[in-house]
Amino acid sequence: MANTKDKAPKGGDKAPKGGDKAQAPKAAKPQGDQVLAKGYVPALKKKYQEEIMPKLIKEFGYTSPMQVPKLVKITVNQGVGSATGDKKLIEVAQNELSVITGQKAVQTVSKKDISNFKLRRGMPIGVKVTLRAAKMYEFLDRLISIALPRIRDFKGIAEKFDGHGNYTLGIKEQIIFPEIDIDKITKIFGMEMTFVTSTDKDEEAFALLREFGLPFRNIKK
């Protein structure tokens, strides 16, 4: 009868699967949502309520505060076309955009097959975030006061609205945001930010974003 004492105990040392090869590091998980204190009111929201609303009422002759245009949401989109050849880039972009905006970014996928670009329906091609309320104001504040001034040879942004009171701003490099460590980036990504307002008139939307502090090129003094 075999001596059971000589058997290796359960859970003893075993060779790891795949031999002695070092395991590849896992891709960084997207950051979670930024947590804001309960009752916190962003500085730009206070500015809107205390300064911007009275100015716009005077400028456009509104008879009710309800007529004053407001910022509804900011949508940030980042296309990652090269992700069709390297899926890791989508995860990198998703993590970076989450850090920049303080809200977890979601992946966007292709809606149809395009053989010339080796693109299949449902394949991830970018990331996006939709910001509202406090996080929207916080992001806008950082964009105006910190990120845009970091653009090399910056001379202001264009004033082209979409005809329905919305404005889209294109950024060529994500490294203008201080949340991104330039020594750790793997690829330069551009992005588009769409500012959606409650008005369908470009003139009113322009005045609103101007008062928030967006540095348009040809603001009339």
What tens digit of pLDDT does each residue of 18-43 get? 444 444 334 444 455 667 777 789 99
The answer to whether 203 and 86 have CB atoms below 8 angstroms apart is no
Higher pLDDT, 124 or 199: 199
CB-count exposure of residue 220 (10 Å: 0-12, 13-18, 19+): exposed
pLDDT, mean of residues 122-149: 92
**pLDDT at residue 187 in the model:** 86
In sequence order, the β-bridge partners of residue 126 are 79, 108
What tens digit of pLDDT does each residue of 64-88 get? 999 999 999 999 999 886 655 567 8
Q: In the chain, where are the structural domains located?
A: 43-198
Q: Is the pLDDT of residue 117 over 60?
A: no
**pLDDT at residue 83 in the model:** 53
**pLDDT at residue 18 in the model:** 45
State the pTM of this model: 0.79
Task: Tell me which CATH homologous superfamily contains domain 43-198.
Answer: Ribosomal protein L5 (3.30.1440.10)
d(C-alpha 64, C-alpha 112), whole Å: 47
